[in-house]
Amino acid sequence: MVVRLWSPAPRRAGAALTDDFPNDIMLLSPPAREGRSRAARGLGTNESMTETAATAPVIAAPRTAAAPVPAAAELSFTERWHGYYTEKRIVHQWLQVHLLAGLPVKRVLEVGPYLGLVSAMLASAGYTVTTLDIGPEAPKLGPAAHIQADLTALDPARIHGHDVILCCETLEHLPWPAVGGVLAAFAASGTPYLVMSVPYEGAQIGWSFYYNGHIIRHRLFTRWLRFLQRFTIKPPADIDTHKWEVGYKGYSLGALKAKVASSGWLPMAQHFTEGCRSVFLVCRNEAVAKAADR
């Protein structure tokens, strides 16, 4: 069961800031509240709220061919940025950078940068950033270099020379059997550290509440019994779809950690985010650690 008290859809371009919290209870006077609600429905605030029953018989209009639906205009980069980076994702992106604070790292390989917020934050924090993606273009802000590569056919020599690999919300887009090979290639590069995250759908509950003299804001979500369900892939060939998520049947957190460990990484710490519901693993390269201990 999933209980959502806020919309998971991104805020549309040009929408008011309060649309990010559609379940906010605005502490307005009744006339102001009514006007706000009617304006949101596209009604004039001076229209009558009274509905009267029709006295004349209703005659159905003749059916006509449906008008062609115009093609949706392609969103600009700015519109895509605002649509994707919602409040919950901003926190998730921040944590990716924050987890590096306790590691002796400077050169970062960021896998799957997408629109580039983490790349820009890393550069702003003083890290040297190289991005890796299946596409040829790097984000405009942040990266000093870019590597175009297919993760499932990655040559470890191409990513040699970094202090940490940051691979967040990427591995779930690959088939589960392919994940171990990708992690092994990361380890074979000699990179000392790995910070990774994937969606976490294990049993959990989250609730937050905020109040001041103008607004009440509350959010609630739950996840139960996912381990009894098989993860459904729709459509399986689409690179953007998730192929698996931790917490579903056959994809436990223990199974993920075992795959990480068998690929040459030693999990050192784990962290969870409640907005995006992800699990983070901070790992050390087993071979590099053994060499350092000699």
Please list the pLDDT of the chain residue by residue as tens digits (294 residues). Answer: 333 333 333 333 333 333 344 444 434 334 443 433 333 333 333 333 333 334 444 455 555 566 676 667 889 989 999 998 998 899 999 999 999 999 999 999 999 999 999 999 999 999 999 999 999 989 999 999 999 999 999 999 999 999 999 999 999 999 999 999 999 999 999 999 999 999 999 999 999 999 999 999 998 988 888 888 999 887 777 888 999 999 999 999 999 999 999 999 999 999 999 888 999 999 999 999 988 887
* pLDDT in the model for residue 70: 67
Question: How many Å apart are CA 159 and CA 292, to the nearest integer?
Answer: 20
* pLDDT in the model for residue 122: 98
* pLDDT in the model for residue 60: 52
Q: Is the pTM of this model over 0.85?
A: no
* pLDDT in the model for residue 20: 46
Tokens found for residue 264: 């040459």
Please report, in angstroms and rounded to a whole number, the separation of the first and last CA atoms in the chain.
51
Q: What single string gives the DSSP state of each residue in 118-179?
A: HHHHHHHTT-EEEEEESSS---SSS-SEEEE--GGG--GGGGTT-SEEEEES-GGGS-HHHH
* pLDDT in the model for residue 41: 35
Question: Are 273 and 181 a contacting pair, CB within 8 Å?
Answer: no
* pLDDT in the model for residue 225: 87
* pLDDT in the model for residue 154: 96
In the CATH hierarchy, which top-level class contains the domain 84-201+250-293? Answer: alpha beta
